[in-house]
Amino acid sequence: MKRFGGRPLTVTPAGPRQTQASRFIQEFSILIISALIFIGTGIVALSAEAAPIAGPTERGKSEGGLFLRKPNASGLGVAAPELDAKVTIDINGIVARVNVAQRFKNPDKEWVEGVYVFPISRKGAVDHLLMRIGERIIEGKIDERKAAKKRYDAAKRSGRKASLVEQERPNLFTVSIANIPPGETITVEMSYQQPVTVVDGLYSLRFPMVVNPRYIPKGPQVAGMGGVGWGINTRTVPDAERITPPMRHPILGKANPALITVALKPGLSVAALRSLYHDVQVTNGDDNSFRVVLRNGPIPADRDFVLEWRPDPGNAPRATLFKEEHDGETYVLAMVIPPAGEAKKDEARLPREAIFIIDTSGSMHGQSIEQAKKALQFALDRLQPNDSFNVIGFSSQPTPLFAKPQTVSTQSLATARLFVRAMTADGGTEMRRALDLALDDRIDTSRLRQIVLMTDGSVGNEAQLFRLIRQGIGDSRLFTIGIGSAPNAHFMNKAARFGRGTFTFIGKTSEVTDKMTRLFKKLGNPVLTDIAVDFPDHTATDVQPERVPDLYRGDPIIVSARLPKGEGDITIAGRLAGREWATKLTLTDALAGKGIAKLWAKRKTEALMDELQEGVDPMAVRQAVLKVALPHQIMSRYTSLVAVDKQISRPSTEGMSRRAVPTNPPAGWTPPRAAGKSLPQRAQGKATLRTLTQAAPAGGNTSPVGTVQQSGQPGAMIRLHTRTATPAGQHLLIGLLLVCLALAVWFIRRRTAQ
């Protein structure tokens, strides 16, 4: 017996059962607490992955309330940079000069590097960069991409302000701005030249404003090119991180406002002028010019801005020729609109085999899928009894209506209409598999085979798809229809060119009838074939395109060339509706056109890049592109624009974080339903397919695959922040595995103790 504080202290030994029970309670409590900690950590990580935003900001206030999560950190993270843009477009004849001033504001208390992925016209020759810091202006320079990046990184590390513009695709660019001080603003101005589009006598200019979320097919992962996007670099798309910027959730409302002003000098009297998708105010000038401004001020960058104008009847020029002197050589741009060729009345119509491919992936959710379905229903109505057809819907996998094309009949068309009505948008954009089905080498030589692809083109593996089309098109023709408010025009145009067809853009449902009617007028034989361009004394050293493809009704002939001198005549000839046709242009009558040399250089570099699809050595292509891009000072895959301030701004004691500017979702797009909520819809889709099978014509072999409505994989289609080092799903899995490990350890200890 011992004493404690003068009182005897008696220690009673615990019995075996009491000691065992106490130990059991203690160990079990530790186990439960550990399990709760691990599960709670996983849930928090999963919540941070799914919704890293505090909520919508109040209307009219700054959008700096959108947060990006810091790498390897939890919680809401840091405020994203704010962005607004001022766009000025000057159009003279068929050439436009576009200036885009992007103003980046840092709303945080830390120094920031802002990164923004944005689109421009696929035809644009980017050649100028200015960085504005208060009243100071720093002019950028075109340099080889690696050298420009090295210079930018050195400035970033030293604390100097710098900006870098890099080309990811011909219509997709990244701008980076280093060392934006807390609470301050830096403006980056970029300029480019582009030709006006002319189709069916209608002149138009498109200014892209938003990047559609790109689908990245699965494949072996590679280090690739680092970026701020949510995509994972794969062997097929090694730059996935650079073309998948974070996107704002629709519940947050729109951001990134843009103010657009257009000065139009068409060079001819105009009968009609309109903006297709935005409300504008037009002011007429005294010299047959027009000033176009947004009626209600800045607009969110969520859909393409398109301006159209039509000349007075009988006043439209049949030919336009521009020229520019540059470094002792003459560069010309010629546009010729052939007369409409009409088929002979006694000429029999060749039966067609029409294959319609419709994109039903998650990026088509909302208005886009309704536009596509209406366009497809219109196309089905225009088929003739001696035609054959098939419909292929695709998202994560393709779903053909029939095992092989079927002859047009009342029953086969009724089955197809039910099939189309049952479609909903969800899942990935596995376009390659759908094209594989359509590019069938079993050709019926008695029919004119035409493939019509309806999609927004939201894919990252463009190069892979171009190779597939070039190798498999055979005697078929591929016509692409761009659907939605901001389709991937680079992919849609080039796919149609490789497929020897045309590209049609449908931006809203009300345009379906008019534009599909125009398309069906082109689906016959080409109007102008065997086109040849002859220059004076055969002195042209480089003509783009080298071979002019066959043209369809309403399409102009556009060629650019580099000549040793600007004298003599250009002759363009071909066969128009089976008859010989020719026209002549005199170089001495050509209009002076600023930027024509750069437009030629842009087309030349694109032609060189196309050689990659033909297996030409990449290093040889790179050197050839640099020989054109550097002397003409234009951006390309291998050249970039960089501007560096001479003054050091950021103290060496201050750190800097890299943050992306989230893009808006395209207008009309809504997030696909979650997989769990789609289950009733999937059941409905299967029931619809059973109905289709019963209604199919005898021998039709309707596809039994029940995937018209696919509960999809929308996870890759929207991310509100940059990718972290360890995904939330892995956090949760690790937590559950540790719980299982703890249970195993506890069980072993219990057995040992016994």
In a domain, 437, yes or no: yes
In a domain, 35, yes or no: yes
Q: What is the pLDDT of residue 683?
A: 31
pLDDT class for 578, splitting at 50, 70, 90? Answer: confident
Cα–Cα nearest to 448, from 352, 347, 552, 349: 352
Percent of the chain with pLDDT over 90: 50
Residue range 366-381: mean pLDDT, rounded = 91
Contact between 119 and 190 under an 8 Å Cβ cutoff? The reply is no
Same domain, 398 and 371: yes
In a domain, 80, yes or no: no
Q: What is the pLDDT of residue 535?
A: 84
Q: What is the pLDDT of residue 418?
A: 95
Q: Which residue has the higher pLDDT, 103 or 443?
A: 103
Whole-angstrom Cα Rg for the chain? 31
Share the mean pLDDT of the chain. 81
For 675, the enclosing helix (H) or strand (E) is none
pTM for this entry: 0.79
- Residue 268 pLDDT > 80: yes
Same domain, 418 and 482: yes
- Residue 409 pLDDT > 90: yes
Q: What is the pLDDT of residue 242?
A: 94
- Residue 340 pLDDT > 50: yes
- Residue 408 pLDDT > 60: yes
In a domain, 694, yes or no: yes
Q: Which residues contact 691 (CB under 8 A, 6 or more apart)?
A: 418
Enter the tokens of residue 546. Answer: 């080298």
**Amino acid identity, position 569:** D
Q: Which residues contact 56 (CB under 8 A, 6 or more apart)?
A: 65, 251, 252, 253
Q: Which residue matches tokens 């092989």? A: 404
Same domain, 706 and 732: no
- Residue 694 pLDDT > 60: no
Q: Which residue has the higher pLDDT, 17 or 534?
A: 534
Enter the tokens of residue 459. Answer: 């894919």
Same domain, 677 and 743: no
What domain range includes position 31?
17-50+728-754
Q: What is the pLDDT of residue 671?
A: 81
Q: What is the pLDDT of residue 630?
A: 96
pLDDT class for 273, splitting at 50, 70, 90? Answer: very high
In a domain, 590, yes or no: no
DSSP for 12-75 reads PPPPHHHHHHHHHHHHHHHHHHHHHHHHHHHHHHHHHHH-----PPPTTS-STT-EEPPTT--S
Same domain, 404 and 476: yes
Cα 40 from Cα 31, distance rounded (Å): 14
Instruction: Tell me the CATH number at 496.
Output: 3.40.50.410
Dihedrals phi, psi of 649, to nearest 5 degrees: -105, -45
Dihedrals phi, psi of 304, to nearest 5 degrees: -65, 145
pLDDT class for 343, splitting at 50, 70, 90? Answer: low
Cα 575 from Cα 558, distance rounded (Å): 17
Between the alpha carbon of residue 717 and those of residues 67, 276, 484, 539, the distances in Å are: 19, 27, 16, 51
Q: What is the pLDDT of residue 548?
A: 84
Q: What is the pLDDT of residue 576?
A: 84
Enter the tokens of residue 98. Answer: 């576009």
Q: What is the pLDDT of residue 567?
A: 82
Same domain, 740 and 690: no
Same domain, 732 and 706: no
Q: Is 4 helix (H, G, I), strand (E, B) or coil?
A: strand
Write the pLDDT tens digit of every residue in 62-98: 333 344 444 443 334 557 789 999 999 999 989 999 9
Q: What is the pLDDT of residue 15?
A: 54
pLDDT class for 357, splitting at 50, 70, 90? Answer: very high
Write the pLDDT tens digit of every residue in 673-692: 643 333 223 233 333 433 44
pLDDT class for 356, splitting at 50, 70, 90? Answer: very high
- Residue 703 pLDDT > 80: no
Residue range 634-649: mean pLDDT, rounded = 96
In a domain, 41, yes or no: yes
Contact between 152 and 161 under an 8 Å Cβ cutoff? The reply is no
DSSP for 349-415 reads PPPEEEEEEEE-SGGGTBHHHHHHHHHHHHHHHT--TT-EEEEEEESSSEEESBSS-EE--HHHHHH
Percent of the chain with pLDDT over 70: 76
Same domain, 740 and 706: no
Same domain, 476 and 410: yes
Q: What is the pLDDT of residue 34?
A: 60
In a domain, 625, yes or no: no
Write the pLDDT tens digit of every residue in 589-636: 888 888 999 999 999 999 999 998 888 999 999 999 999 999 999 999
Q: What is the pLDDT of residue 684?
A: 34
In a domain, 667, yes or no: no
Enter the tokens of residue 515. Answer: 């534009």
- Residue 644 pLDDT > 80: yes
Same domain, 754 and 683: no
- Residue 344 pLDDT > 60: no
Write the pLDDT tens digit of every residue in 14-50: 455 555 556 666 666 666 666 666 565 555 444 433 3
Number of domains into which the chain is organized: 2
Same domain, 458 and 393: yes
